[in-house]
Amino acid sequence: MAAGMTRGAAEAADARAGTASTARPLVGVTGSDRGGRIMWACNRLALWRAGARAVRITPGRPFPAERLDAVVVGGGDDIEPSLYGLEVTPAVRIDPERDRMELRMLDCTRARGIPVLGICRGSQIINVHQGGTLHRDIYEAYGNAPKLRTVLPRKRVRIEAQSRLRELLCGQETCMVNALHHQSVDRLGSGLVVAALDQVGIVQAVEGTGPGFLIGVQWHPEFLVADSCQQNLFRSLVAAAVGERLAVSA
């Protein structure tokens, strides 16, 4: 009987590993209750092409973080300035409920060690979550910053040597990206390093210094559907999610 139980346990472990290796990982994509449907659709498509299933998570549509294999923290409204030590100005559109939801989500991802990709606002809130600060308006902080707002790849960014991001972006030293933001990282949060800068020195990407997958990009790779290197961000996130799930099920 003992031998039979041993074989049964081994078979069950093999079955769990087989399921984990073949089922599409579940990736949560955070967003706002007001708008953002196009970003959600593009992220969902990018993740599906990368081999994952996506679920949209908003303050009004919560989802148990414990069931997720990875998270994409999406773009959207400004982050409440009081979260990084500044005052709220009347002209700024903020979403405090989303801020709180995403900070809780990042608490959970850090505790569980699951992969995270931050996009635009998502990159910024990763930095805030790690104790960093933001430039509330890049045009005030960088007087020579070109006023560029487009979904097309019109901005050139330099990817830092030895960064994980450069490896994921096909080893490119520079790449062309879109630009839809007016805020950026100021003081880096704990455990983060700069992974990309633009021509005037604005931080365009950050990444974690630890072993897990924690990357934030200031641009929107979900809109760069024809750029295989940009889509590799999603493929790499999904691969990391599968790896984590296999490690847990082993």
Q: Work out whether the CA dihedral 176, 129, 56, 235 comes out positive or negative.
A: positive
- Catalytic site includes residue 108: no
DSSP string, 42-109: HHHHHHHHTT-EEEEEBTTB---GGG-SEEEE---SBPPGGGGT-PPPTT--B-HHHHHHHHHHHHHH
Catalytic residue among 42, 80, 102, 120: 120
Ranges assigned E (strand) in 148-246: 150-159, 174-179, 184-185, 192-198, 203-208, 214-217
- Catalytic site includes residue 135: no
Give the separation between CA 73 and CA 189, rounded to whole angstroms.
17
Contact partners, residue 140, CB within 8 Å, separation at least 6:
none
- 153 burial (CB, 10 Å; 0-12 / 13-18 / 19+) is middle
Maximum Cα interatomic distance, the chain, rounded to a whole number of Å? 76
User: Strand pairing partners for 216?
Assistant: 118, 206
- Catalytic site includes residue 222: yes
Catalytic residue among 80, 102, 207, 222: 222
User: Strand pairing partners for 26?
Assistant: 53
Catalytic residue numbers, as ranges:
120, 220, 222
